[in-house]
């Protein structure tokens, strides 16, 4: 209540003009409830009808199979929606929520349809494998999408993924120029020797990827250790050059973190989308074969 | 134009008047205009050879005839031109004006569904590809689209809503509006619409043709050029500007809503119009070598002598803190300053000094209502202020950090700022791709920008409340859409001079070298330099579902927001 009063006062607006944060979260809760109810409303009738027909006529698999095929098409259509941004097909956010809900229903129906996580036939096993790849990569993607953006925010120094290699190259050139200038001015070889032996390795390409991925700071520690180890051999003028190189190395450390975290946010899609496409194709073939030979 | 598979295309570099306001404007009409009293007294020798007076009238003006009852301008529309009544009689409807439903307002042009459906098949990999035939076909180009289908007051379903007596069919004069609608006549020689045109804002009143009315519609560039070189026009425009501000702000301000016409007249008679700072503040702001000047309007500790009603620009409300000032809030059009202290003075009978300071962020236009007038006419009729501006200083200083940042960076100017929640953004660039897909393969923003905590304000046009990018445009290519007030660029009339891009304080306008559809660059035949066009976000103008960037974000990270809600966002989290 106090914060609302503050905001109102802050903006010097009448109360009616202000959206209320409490209402926003209530709305978010309402939307989540709506999706849950929709998910259940979509799943329960199909599951119940399949169960009933299986008991009475032994044809429950037809219901779950056709439902799975329809759901698979709807799930794949999310990718199509992204390619048609000009058409009023609903927001991508709504599509994503529906994608998650229908994905959950499809998984439940798949278990009901296949009867076992690992079916008998070779083709069905392939289908099961691809289905699992889609589900697991989807779950992993969702997990990464919830986890990594915050870590990227914490890293700071926002950068576009495609520009990272060019930025690293620029940093490397700047560092090398600093070393060369320092050698020319000071005449000592300590900085250049150290650069060639260790810092050059660091500036070559993204480093400490696993540490960045798991939230560690090995890169930062490495820079600190290297710089402090080198500093004792340098005079004041070289020390100033080293300060600048340290700043470049720290920026490089940020870029490395962005490289691996943003890369992970993209990488899972390279499994999920092709596997999804393959699943659609395999499911269609499965249906065709079934109708030709089994029904 | 020469074209070839392996050769670059050439195109005469576009100039200011390649696209006149109306191609039908004739020399005879220009001569007729120059003979009128409004123009014959202007010293044509004061105009440069590149933009002579007759050229301005020929290319930046057009003559339009309105039938009785037709609306010439509508309250709330965004205007890019002013009107001079040449013949007939127009009439302005004074506040509170007509209900929206009687104004025949359509929100936007209906979407072109065929084009939308075919859009995926028309995408090209060639960046900034254009059909340059459109640039050379004068008839195929239109100027700043400022006209919609005309609406007539005589066509309303129930005449009783407007008139006391039924309009006679085919009548040459619109009957007087009902007693509840106040109007003012605009006889020949009257100039109107100049406030919205020069102030880059909304029309403040509706004007209709009472009889058949012939008007000269003048692009704001014409108005600017003439007023800069003729003192009579300058004074005329300034008088109109001030009287419009008085009329509209005083009559519509909620604080004065309880006043009757007589009291309002007295308030208007005593009110002063004040202006602080520079209208072209962006020049200072872009040059970030030093902090931009912020002229002080009212200083904490001084004694107030009048209530300030903000009518344009922005003001920073602050209190002294340490060696600097702490921002408590910012004020813009429609806000007021000094009420708490003045009311307290009136209530308690002792003088109360300003508890906060007000400084102009860029420029600030304000009306000052003297204390004596407030004490006599206003304070007895209003309820005591519920909150005091200075009370906001009770919150922790850290809570103001976001506000300080937005004010310092002048993001307060944005009405559709692209705000990205970095804690949600997965950096997938779906927003950029969606933008590119809806703009012929060319993204109109960059997903980078200033950050504060988890918030990023990306480099996308913010469709500013004060779009300073429009100030220097020589052709009027950059303009506000009539409905909605989006700032958009007419590609056909843009000459690529870069004035808008250099004026934008936020670097949100890009100049791009255009190519023919076959991928060859388009060059100036003389200099062999590429032909440039200014590009920026147009909020997906014409798309039925709004900005595609926002709708393409599957994670709800990207929003187009007005700054006020942006501040609320940050304060709420």
Say whether B426 and A7 touch across the interface (CB within 8 A): no
State the smallest CA–CA distance between residue A83 and chain B in angstroms. 8
Which comes out higher in pLDDT, residue B386 or A89?
Answer: A89
The closest alpha carbon to A73, from A93, A98, A49, A90, belongs to: A98
- Whether a cis peptide bond, with omega within 30° of 0, leads into B96 is yes
ipTM: 0.85
Say whether A10 and B567 touch across the interface (CB within 8 A): yes
The SS3 call for residue A111 is helix
Sequence-distant (6+) residues with CB within 8 A of B136 are B1, B11, B12
Residues of A at the B interface (Cβ-Cβ below 8 Å)? Answer: 3, 5-13, 18-19, 21, 24, 82-88, 91-93, 95-96, 145, 148-150, 152-153, 156, 158-161, 262, 265-266
Is residue A42 predicted with pLDDT exceeding 50?
yes
Is residue B105 predicted with pLDDT exceeding 80?
no
Least confident of A65-79, A82-96, B71-85, B445-459: B71-85
Q: Is residue B186 within 8 Å of B89, Cβ to Cβ?
A: yes
Q: Is residue A42 within 8 Å of A105, Cβ to Cβ?
A: yes
Give me the half-sphere count of Cα atoms (radius 13 Å) on the Cβ side of residue A138: 23
What is the rounded distance in angstroms from the CA atom of residue B345 to the CA atom of residue B371?
10
Which residue from A minimizes the CA distance to B389?
A9
Question: What is the enclosing helix (H) or strand (E) of B94?
Answer: none
Q: Which among B335, B453, B553 has the least Cβ separation from residue A92?
A: B553
Q: Is residue A177 within 8 Å of A203, Cβ to Cβ?
A: no
Say whether B335 and A12 touch across the interface (CB within 8 A): yes
No. of helices (H) and no. of strands (E), chain B: 18, 26
Q: Is residue B92 within 8 Å of B247, Cβ to Cβ?
A: no
* Angle at the Cα of A124 from the Cα atoms of A120 and A128, rounded to 5 degrees: 105
Give me the half-sphere count of Cα atoms (radius 13 Å) on the Cβ side of residue B305: 4
Q: Which among B329, B427, B435 has the least Cβ separation from residue A10?
A: B329
The closest alpha carbon to B191, from B114, B282, B84, belongs to: B84
What is the rounded distance in angstroms from the CA atom of residue B139 to the CA atom of residue B343?
61
Say whether B437 and A86 touch across the interface (CB within 8 A): yes
Q: Is residue B368 within 8 Å of B355, Cβ to Cβ?
A: no
The verdict on B426 touching A (C-beta cutoff 8 Å) is: yes
Q: Which among A82, A86, A153 has the least Cβ separation from residue B119?
A: A86
Mutation target among B434, B572, B573 for the A interface, most CBs of A within 10 A: B572
**Mean pLDDT, range A1-14, rounded to an integer:** 42
Q: Dihedral of CA B162/B163/B167/B171: which sign?
A: negative
Least confident of A244-253, B74-83, B140-149, B296-305: B140-149
Which residue from B minimizes the CA distance to A97?
B554
Q: Which among A19, A93, A262 has the least Cβ separation from residue B427?
A: A262
Say whether B567 and A83 touch across the interface (CB within 8 A): no
Is residue B157 predicted with pLDDT exceeding 70?
yes
Sequence-distant (6+) residues with CB within 8 A of B534 are B477, B478, B489, B494, B496, B498, B500, B501, B509, B510, B511
Q: Which residues of A are less than 8 Å from B425 in CB distance?
A: 149
Determine how β-strand B522-523 pairs with β-strand B9-10.
parallel
Confidence of residue B7 (pLDDT cuts 50, 70, 90): low
Mutation target among B568, B569, B570, B571 for the A interface, most CBs of A within 10 A: B568
pLDDT score for B296: 94
Residue B341, CA distances (Å) to A5, A55, B274, B307, B350 in order: 20, 81, 20, 9, 10
Say whether B568 and A83 touch across the interface (CB within 8 A): no
What is the rounded distance in angstroms from the CA atom of residue B9 to the CA atom of residue B33?
40
Residue B154, CA distances (Å) to B100, B151, B168, B172, B515 in order: 16, 9, 9, 11, 49
State the smallest CA–CA distance between residue A39 and chain B in angstroms. 19
Give me the half-sphere count of Cα atoms (radius 13 Å) on the Cβ side of residue B299: 4
What is the rounded distance in angstroms from the CA atom of residue B418 to the CA atom of residue B553?
12
Token look-up 């013949």 returns B87
State the smallest CA–CA distance between residue B387 and chain A in angstroms. 6
Q: In degrees rounded to 5, what are phi and psi of residue A257?
A: -60, -45
pLDDT score for B178: 78
And the tokens for B184?
């003012």
pLDDT score for B5: 47
State the smallest CA–CA distance between residue B510 and chain A in angstroms. 18
Confidence of residue B566 (pLDDT cuts 50, 70, 90): low
Q: Which among B391, B447, B567 has the least Cβ separation from residue A11?
A: B567
Q: Which residues of B are less than 8 Å from A153 in CB distance?
A: 422-423, 453-454
Q: Which residues of A are less than 8 Å from B565 in CB distance?
A: 19
- What pTM did the predictor assign? 0.82
* Angle at the Cα of A293 from the Cα atoms of A121 and A119, rounded to 5 degrees: 15
Per the DSSP assignment, residues forming a β-bridge with B534 are B511
What is the rounded distance in angstroms from the CA atom of residue B322 to the CA atom of residue B302?
19
The verdict on B319 touching A (C-beta cutoff 8 Å) is: no
Q: Is residue B128 within 8 Å of B515, Cβ to Cβ?
A: yes
Say whether B555 and A93 touch across the interface (CB within 8 A): yes
Three-state secondary structure readout of B544-559: CCCCHHHHHCCCCCEE
**Phi-psi bin for B355: left (phi > 0), alpha (psi -120 to 50), beta?**
alpha
Which residue from A minimizes the CA distance to B396?
A6
Question: What is the enclosing helix (H) or strand (E) of B194?
Answer: helix B194-199
Say whether B426 and A265 touch across the interface (CB within 8 A): yes
First-to-last alpha carbon distance for chain B, in angstroms, is 58
Sequence-distant (6+) residues with CB within 8 A of A249 are A175, A199, A202, A203, A223, A226, A227
What is the rounded distance in angstroms from the CA atom of residue A227 to the CA atom of residue A245?
9
pLDDT score for A7: 43
Token look-up 């923003």 returns B445
Q: Is residue B300 within 8 Å of B354, Cβ to Cβ?
A: yes
Say whether B567 and A3 touch across the interface (CB within 8 A): no
Q: Which among A18, A83, A93 has the least Cβ separation from residue B556?
A: A93
Residue B266, CA distances (Å) to A123, B257, B263, B405 in order: 90, 14, 5, 41
% pLDDT > 70, chain A: 92
Say whether B430 and A92 touch across the interface (CB within 8 A): yes
pLDDT score for A265: 97
Token look-up 């939230």 returns A215
Q: Is residue B195 within 8 Å of B201, Cβ to Cβ?
A: yes
pLDDT digits (tens, 9 = 90+) for B392-441: 888 888 888 888 999 989 999 999 999 999 999 999 999 999 999 999 88
The verdict on B398 touching A (C-beta cutoff 8 Å) is: no
Least confident of A13-27, A46-60, B365-379: A13-27
Q: Is residue B431 within 8 Å of B553, Cβ to Cβ?
A: yes
pLDDT digits (tens, 9 = 90+) for B340-354: 999 999 999 999 999
State the smallest CA–CA distance between residue B310 and chain A in angstroms. 13
Mutation target among A16, A17, A85 for the B interface, most CBs of B within 10 A: A85
What is the rounded distance in angstroms from the CA atom of residue B257 to the CA atom of residue B384?
15
Q: Which residues of A are less than 8 Å from B422 in CB distance?
A: 149, 152-153, 158
pLDDT digits (tens, 9 = 90+) for B250-307: 877 888 888 888 888 888 888 888 888 877 777 777 776 566 778 999 999 999 999 9
What is the rounded distance in angstroms from the CA atom of residue B82 to the CA atom of residue B240?
12
Q: Which among A19, A145, A262 has the least Cβ separation from residue B565?
A: A19
Which residue from B minimizes the CA distance to A88?
B545
State the CB neighbour count (10 A cutoff) for residue B372: 11
Three-state secondary structure readout of B436-492: HHCCCCCCCCEEEEEEECCEEEEECCCCCCCCHHHCCCCCCCEEECCCCCCEEECCC
% pLDDT > 70, chain B: 92
Burial tier of B435 (Cβ tally within 10 Å: 0-12, 13-18, 19+): buried
């Amino acid at each position: 209540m106090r914060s609302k009063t503050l905001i109102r006062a802050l903006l010097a607006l009448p109360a009616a003009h202000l959206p209320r944060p409490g209402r926003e979260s209530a709305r978010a809760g309402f939307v989540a409830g709506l999706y849950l109810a929709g998910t259940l409303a979509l799943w329960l009738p199909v599951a119940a009808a399949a169960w009933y027909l299986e008991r009475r006529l032994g044809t429950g698999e037809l219901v779950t199979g056709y439902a799975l095929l329809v759901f698979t098409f709807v799930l794949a259509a999310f990718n199509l929606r992204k390619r048609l941004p000009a058409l009023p097909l609903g927001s991508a956010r709504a599509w994503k929520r529906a994608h998650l809900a229908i994905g959950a229903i499809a998984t439940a129906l798949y278990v009901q349809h296949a009867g076992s996580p690992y079916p008998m036939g070779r083709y069905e096993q392939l289908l099961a494998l691809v289905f699992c790849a889609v589900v697991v990569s989807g779950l992993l993607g969702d997990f990464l999408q919830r986890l990594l953006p915050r870590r990227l925010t914490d890293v700071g120094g926002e950068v576009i993924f495609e520009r990272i290699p060019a930025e690293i190259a620029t940093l490397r050139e700047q560092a090398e120029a600093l070393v060369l200038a320092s050698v020319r001015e000071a005449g000592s070889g300590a900085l250049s020797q150290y650069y060639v032996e260790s810092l050059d390795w660091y500036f070559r390409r993204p480093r400490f990827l696993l540490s960045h991925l798991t939230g560690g700071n090995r890169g930062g520690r490495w820079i600190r250790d290297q710089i402090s180890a080198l500093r004792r051999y340098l005079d004041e003028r070289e020390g100033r050059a080293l300060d600048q190189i340290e700043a470049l190395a720290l920026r490089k450390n940020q870029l490395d973190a962005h490289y691996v975290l943003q890369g992970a946010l993209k990488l899972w899609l390279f499994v999920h989308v092709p596997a999804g496409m393959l699943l659609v194709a395999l499911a269609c073939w499965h249906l065709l074969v079934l109708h030709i030979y089994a029904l | 134009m020469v074209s070839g598979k392996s050769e670059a295309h050439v195109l005469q570099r576009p100039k200011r008047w390649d696209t006149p306001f109306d191609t039908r404007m004739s020399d005879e009409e220009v001569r007729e205009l120059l003979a009128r009293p409004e123009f014959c007294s202007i010293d044509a020798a004061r105009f440069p050879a590149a933009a002579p007076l007759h050229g301005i009238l020929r290319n930046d003006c057009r003559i339009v005839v309105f039938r009785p009852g037709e609306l010439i301008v509508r309250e709330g529309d965004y205007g890019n031109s002013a009107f001079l009544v040449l013949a007939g009689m127009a009439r302005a409807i004074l506040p509170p004006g007509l209900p929206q439903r009687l104004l025949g307002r359509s929100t936007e042009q209906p979407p072109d569904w065929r084009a939308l459906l075919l859009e995926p098949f028309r995408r090209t990999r060639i960046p900034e590809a254009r059909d340059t035939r459109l640039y050379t076909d004068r008839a195929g180009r239109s100027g700043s689209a400022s006209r919609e289908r005309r609406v007539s007051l005589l066509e309303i379903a129930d005449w009783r809503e407007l008139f006391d007596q039924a309009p006679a069919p085919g009548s040459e004069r619109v009957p007087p509006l009902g007693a509840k609608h106040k109007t003012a006549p605009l006889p020949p020689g009257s100039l109107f619409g100049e406030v919205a045109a020069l102030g880059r804002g909304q029309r403040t009143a509706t004007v209709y043709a009472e009889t058949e009315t012939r008007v000269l519609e003048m692009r704001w560039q014409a108005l600017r050029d003439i007023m800069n070189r003729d003192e009579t026009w300058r004074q005329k425009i300034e008088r109109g500007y001030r009287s419009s501000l008085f009329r509209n702000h005083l009559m519509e301000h909620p604080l004065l809503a309880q006043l009757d016409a007589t009291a309002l007249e007295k308030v208007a008679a005593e009110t002063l119009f004040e202006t602080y700072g520079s209208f072209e503040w962006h020049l200072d702001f872009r040059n970030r070598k030093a902090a931009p000047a912020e002229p002080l309007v009212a200083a904490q500790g001084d004694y107030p002598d009048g209530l300030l009603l903000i009518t344009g620009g922005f003001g920073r409300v602050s209190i002294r803190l340490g060696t600097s000032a702490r921002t408590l809030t910012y004020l813009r059009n429609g806000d007021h300053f000094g009420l708490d202290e003045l009311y307290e003075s009136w209530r308690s009978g002792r003088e109360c000094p300003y508890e906060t300071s007000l400084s102009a962020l860029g420029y600030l236009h304000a009306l000052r209502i003297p204390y004596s007038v407030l004490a006599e006419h206003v304070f007895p009729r209003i309820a005591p202020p519920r909150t005091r501006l200075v009370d906001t200083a009770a919150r922790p200083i850290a809570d103001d950090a976001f506000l300080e940042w937005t004010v310092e960076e002048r993001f307060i100017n944005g009405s559709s700022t692209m705000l990205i929640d970095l804690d949600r953004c997965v950096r997938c660039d779906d927003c950029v791709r969606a933008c590119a897909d809806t703009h012929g393969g060319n993204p109109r923003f960059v997903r980078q920008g200033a950050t504060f905590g988890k918030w990023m304000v990306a480099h996308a046009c913010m469709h500013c409340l004060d779009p300073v990018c429009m100030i220097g445009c020589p052709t009027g290519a950059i303009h506000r859409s009539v409905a909605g007030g989006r700032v958009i660029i007419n590609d056909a009339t843009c000459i690529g001079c870069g004035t808008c891009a250099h004026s934008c304080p936020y670097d949100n306008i890009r100049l791009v070298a255009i190519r023919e559809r076959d991928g060859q660059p388009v060059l100036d035949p003389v200099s062999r330099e590429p032909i440039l066009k200014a590009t920026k976000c147009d909020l997906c103008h014409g798309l039925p579902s709004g900005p595609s960037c926002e709708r393409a974000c599957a994670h709800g990270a990207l929003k187009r927001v007005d700054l006020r809600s942006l501040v609320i966002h940050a304060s709420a989290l």
